[in-house]
Structure 1
Amino acid sequence: MAENLRNPYIGMLVLILSAIAIYDIYVIVSYILGLANVSSADYMLHMKLLIFVTFLMVLLFVFRNLVFKLKKSK
């Protein structure tokens, strides 16, 4: 039962992180193409956020797989 309740929260976290990453990509592309009035400080902030969000998503998947493998081995 607890395993069924945990999966929606992981999915919701992945959706939120994906939405943040998509917005970061939008700002980065807007700065590169000059489509919007984006400063270089905003560009650097969103580059760092994109790297951080990507790192969090990879870390989440690694720990999730590690926990599931440890539970299966018991």
Structure 2
Amino acid sequence: MAEASSLASSLRVLLRKNDKISTTTNSMNYFVNDGEVNIILGTDSGFAEPTYTLELVDGDEIEQHSSVTYTRL
């Protein structure tokens, strides 16, 4: 399990495959490759997803607006 945190961080993926992402934040935006994946992730049961599973590949660019936990599957 890895955690990345920043108010609006951009990350570049280095050889990952299937990951489950989660956050303890009420709601946040999470993007991969300028919107190829666009998720509202969070604990707000009204509209946010508590977890999301995605496949990340080498070179994908991630933008997240809060702390995220990555769990390799």
Both structures adopt the same fold (TM-score exceeding 0.5): no
User: Which TM bucket (shorter chain)?
Assistant: under 0.3
**TM-score for the superposition, normalised by structure 2:** 0.20
Judging by fraction of residues, say which structure has more helix. 1
- Which protein has the bigger strand share? 2
Computing the radius of gyration from Cα coordinates, the structure with the larger value is 1
Higher relative contact order (CA 8 A, sep 6+): 2
